[in-house]
Amino acid sequence: MKIAFLGTGLMGGPMARRLAEAGYGISVWNRSPAKAEPLAACAATVCAAPDEAARGADLVITMLTAGPAVHEVLFDTGVAQAAAPGAIILDMSSIRPAEARAHSGRLAESGRRHVDAPVSGGTRGAEAGTLAIMAGGDEAAFDEIREVLAVMGRPVRVGPSGAGQLAKLANQAIVGIAIGAVAEATLLVSEGGGDLSAFRQALKGGFADSTILQQHGERMENRDFAPGGRSSVQLKDLDNVLNEAEALGLKLPLVEAVRDRYKRLAGPLGQGDLDHSALFLELLDLNERSA
């Protein structure tokens, strides 16, 4: 199987590296070439243009910032036509379900198949190959690429086209709300004189325990907000959650509240490039506490 991987940034880079190290023939491209060049050391072919990477590929993987970027790369640069007839286009970006369904329909017109499979787990999961992978699309196409997906994490098909993106939106709603809750709990314990490390240890195994508590709670304690998942991306995902909810006639008050906090973090506070656990900084500012 010839694989093209388009988008080798914070998440895509380690994902592509795992595929190359697993022995797959892989061509890579990134809008900023410097982010793709290190993959040459893993025997990946670094290409100057996305359609060059996709030429004759049986599987084209996209890991890009948003729906418009995916549309541009697939259809405006000639990637869809460059891929082999019958190729599978595997979009692992986080975009709106309606965008995924539209991409699937347009690709079908040219005889290419589509699977939307966004991920959760951050850069640590990408590096370790432990990502949660939520896939939507034709079951036969999913089965065909299941082994490739397993190199990057734990793939589960959750329904037809667009269902993977819907599951990712639900995931991001949970993540955003949970980060907000962990930030408030961390501040409460810290201001009350508690030992934050011991606090997290005490909650292990209980109903309040979570990866977010253990990993992001430690980030908040240490003020370590180097980006794994950027706050600006979390904001984009929460906006997409609310857009999808509106289309379904739903009100999601917790998502709306935490979206507004990320909007303040990325906007007036200018911290959109920090990790999404940096919501703690917005909480400190709100309480007039220094970081």
Q: Dump pLDDT digits (tens) for 11-63.
A: 999 999 999 999 999 999 999 999 999 999 999 999 999 999 999 999 999 99
How does strand 2-6 pair with strand 113-116? unpaired
Residues 39 and 156 in one domain: yes
**Residues listed for the chain:** 291
Residues 136 and 224 in one domain: no
pLDDT band at 225 (very low <50, low <70, confident <90, very high): very high
Print the domain residue range for 263. Answer: 166-287
pLDDT band at 228 (very low <50, low <70, confident <90, very high): confident
- pLDDT tens track for 76-122: 999 999 999 999 999 999 999 999 999 999 999 999 999 999 999 88
Residues 140 and 174 in one domain: no
Residues 123 and 224 in one domain: no
The whole-number average pLDDT for the span 182-200 is 98
Active site residues: 168
Residues 13 and 156 in one domain: yes
pTM of the model: 0.87
Residues 123 and 255 in one domain: no
- List the Cα angle 285/287/289 in 5-degree steps: 65
CA gyration radius, the chain? 20
Residues 56 and 18 in one domain: yes
For the beta carbon of residue 37, count every other beta carbon within 10 angstroms.
14
- pLDDT tens track for 49-80: 999 999 999 999 999 988 999 999 999 999 99
Residues 47 and 139 in one domain: yes
Residues 60 and 139 in one domain: yes
| 197: CB partners within 8 A, 6+ apart | 218, 221
Domain boundary among 131, 160, 189: 160
Domain boundary among 160, 193, 214: 160
Residues 33 and 149 in one domain: yes
The closest alpha carbon to 27, from 40, 18, 11, 15, belongs to: 40
Domain boundary among 113, 143, 160: 160
The sign of the dihedral angle between the CA atoms of 231, 233, 234, 238 is positive
Residue type at 136 in one-letter notation: G
Question: Helix 279-286 crosses helix 163-191 at what angle (to 10 degrees)?
Answer: 40
Partners of 159 in the β-ladder: 136
pLDDT band at 229 (very low <50, low <70, confident <90, very high): confident
Query: What is the pLDDT, as a whole number, of residue 275?
Result: 96
CB 132 within 8 A of CB 154: yes
The closest alpha carbon to 12, from 61, 73, 49, belongs to: 61
pLDDT band at 239 (very low <50, low <70, confident <90, very high): very high
Residues 17 and 123 in one domain: yes
Query: What is the pLDDT, as a whole number, of residue 122?
Result: 87
CATH code of the domain containing 69: 3.40.50.720
Q: Is the pLDDT of residue 129 over 90?
A: yes
Tally of domains within the chain: 2
Residues 210 and 241 in one domain: yes
Query: What is the pLDDT, as a whole number, of residue 226?
Result: 95
Residue-wise burial string across 124-156, b where 16 or more C-beta atoms lie within 10 A, e elsewhere? ebbbebebbbbbbbbeebbebbeebbebbbebe
